[in-house]
Amino acid sequence: MGRGMLQFKPYQESVDVSIHVELRNRLYPDMIQTEDEILRERASVPKERIFIETWLATDGEEPVAVLDVMDNYWAAEKGRMLVDVLTPSQDPEIWSEVYRFGEDCAIRKGATEIICWNRSDCTGQVEAMIAAGFTEIQRVPITRLKVDTFPLEDWEKALKRVADQGIGLTTWADLDHEAKDWVAELYQATWEMVQDMPSPTTPTAPKYSEYVKMLEDKKRYIHDLMFVALDGDKIVGYSRLTPTDADPTLLYTGLSGMRRNYRRKGIVTALKVAGIKAANARGATQIQTDNDETNPMYKLNTDLGFKNSASWIQFRKALA
């Protein structure tokens, strides 16, 4: 039992995932997911080497929230833990009670600061976070592109400019047929990109074995939607699109970026245009992405025609 009127029980994935997806889709009706997508997402967390607890909160009759408390394992800072409160309720008291339960869990595990994410249009929850002592440390606008109205003919020249530099554009599906270990090459390239992304935390490199396992998820990593820029046999740029089972008309952009010596040459623009062409060929009508508001990729996306909706906001609270 929590300190208020809610009850908390350990989350049982096989039993509670249907409740989880229902709560999530009520909170984000523009970004719906299926049970399978949530299960795959949770399977990607390296539970064998980090602390994670998940709880289901109810009001005695109906489920109201899913709570995750875990090590902030993708960041180097010690003592920092993530408390993720997923509830469709905009009642500040609901969010606050679930959060307090999560904070208590984190403190018992030695947390010295808490990280929480929320969306700017969840106004009641954001108000509760500020009242609980959180401060904003990062804002990540969510943008969408209407694929069917994208002026592709105006952007085809971006592909030619890259070809004129001797840079080849291909897909992971094409590289699959070659003998070279492209996974190791992609691992090194993407880690260089991630280190330079604007962030209030210092990133840590994923274990190579975990990276390989991640790429094996063929529903998230569709080989003909993974676009690669090559300078000879070196991967210098990358951009990925991921479809969603819940809405086949919508694609999400994963990591997009360039190695340091190849930036400001229009290559990532060409990778994005190649992705938009592929999305159009698949019958998708929208592409969604998000970028830190200070990231040059954010301006590139708006130049391509992506339009803002809400923003993800990262909050921090010191405990000591």
Say what the pTM is: 0.94
Q: Where are the domains of the chain?
A: 7-133, 143-311
Rounded Cα–Cα distance for residues 3 and 65 (Å): 15
Q: In the predicted model, what is the mean pLDDT of the chain?
A: 95
143-311 matches 7-133 in CATH topology: yes
The CATH code of domain 7-133 reads 3.40.630.30
Residues in the chain predicted with pLDDT less than 70, given as ranges, are: 1-3
Q: What is the pLDDT of residue 75?
A: 86
Residue burial 137-148, b: 16+ Cβ < 10 Å; e: rest = ebebbbbbbebe
Q: Which H or E element spans position 114?
A: strand 113-119
Q: What is the pLDDT of residue 1?
A: 36
Assign domain 143-311 one CATH number from 3.40.630.30, 3.20.10.10, 3.40.1280.10, 3.40.640.10: 3.40.630.30
Rounded Cα–Cα distance for residues 24 and 32 (Å): 7
Residue 136's contacts (CB-CB under 8 Å, 6 or more residues apart) are 313, 314, 315
Rounded Cα–Cα distance for residues 260 and 189 (Å): 9
Query: What distances in angstroms separate CA 9 from CA 107, 225, 230, 251, one per listed residue?
Result: 18, 40, 50, 35
Q: What is the pLDDT of residue 2?
A: 42
The tens digit of pLDDT for each residue in 125-160 reads 999 999 999 999 999 999 999 999 999 999 999 999
Query: Can you name the residues that pair with 307 across neighbouring β-strands?
Result: 144
Residue burial 150-183, b: 16+ Cβ < 10 Å; e: rest = beeeebeebbeebeeeebebebbeebeeeeeebe
